[in-house]
């Protein structure tokens, strides 16, 4: 036989309370683990979204960098072209362009002068036509009046006979 004392109700109650305390601690630990797992999942999703945004931003920066490199190449080509150009030849071309522009201005001035003279001549001719038209109209009115007077005299003579 064993020398152990029989279990009393108080012993069982103490063991139940200890077990309940351990279960409560275990439940709290499980809840803490569950919250940590949720936070870890949220953090992972956030990292995934952040990674996607960083990749898009890097792509935009890459496009900007490419455009800047292309612009730098174009500027370098322009500077090289200016550097390789003969300043005297460039100056001569500018002078030739200026002379051509001045000649064009003179030709246009002459042409505008001719146009203004033609317009003045046309205006004078139109004035003469108006005067001639007015004179012709007066002559027509006089002719009509004389013709009417003639018809009136003829009618009176026919009636009198």
- Residue found under tokens 């890097």: 58
Note the pLDDT of residue 2: 54
Q: How far apart are CA 92 and CA 97, in angstroms?
A: 9
Please give the C-alpha separations between residue 89 and each of 44, 98, 102, 141, in angstroms, as whole numbers: 67, 14, 20, 76
The structure tokens 């002068």 sit at 113
Sketch the domain layout of the chain as residue ranges: 10-84, 106-161
Centroid of chain to Cα 111: 40
Helices (H), the chain: 9-84, 87-160
- Give the separation between CA 134 and CA 136, rounded to whole angstroms: 5
Q: Which range, of 19-28, 62-71, 113-122, averages the lowest pLDDT?
A: 62-71
Q: Residues 56-59: contacts with CB within 8 Å, 24+ apart?
A: none
Check pLDDT > 70 for residue 41.
yes
- Give pTM, 2 decimals: 0.34
pLDDT tier at 81 (50, 70, 90 boundaries)?
low
Q: With 80 as the cut, is the pLDDT of residue 57 above it?
A: no
Identify the pLDDT of residue 99: 81
């Amino acid at each position: 036989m064993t020398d152990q004392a029989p279990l009393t109700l108080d012993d069982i109650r103490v063991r139940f309370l200890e077990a309940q305390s351990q279960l409560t601690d275990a439940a709290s630990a499980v809840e803490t683990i569950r919250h940590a797992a949720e936070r870890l999942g949220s953090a992972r999703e956030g990292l995934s979204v952040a990674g996607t945004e960083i990749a898009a931003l890097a792509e935009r920066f890459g496009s900007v960098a490419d455009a800047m490199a292309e612009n730098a190449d174009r500027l370098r080509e322009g500077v090289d072209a200016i550097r390789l150009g003969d300043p005297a030849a460039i100056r001569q071309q500018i002078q030739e362009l200026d002379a051509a522009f001045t000649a064009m201005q003179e030709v246009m001035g002459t042409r505008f002068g001719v146009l203004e003279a033609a317009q003045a001549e046309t205006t004078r001719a139109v004035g003469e036509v108006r005067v001639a038209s007015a004179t012709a109209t007066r002559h027509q009115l006089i002719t009509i009046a004389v013709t009417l007077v003639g018809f009136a005299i003829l009618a009176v003579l026919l009636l009198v006979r």
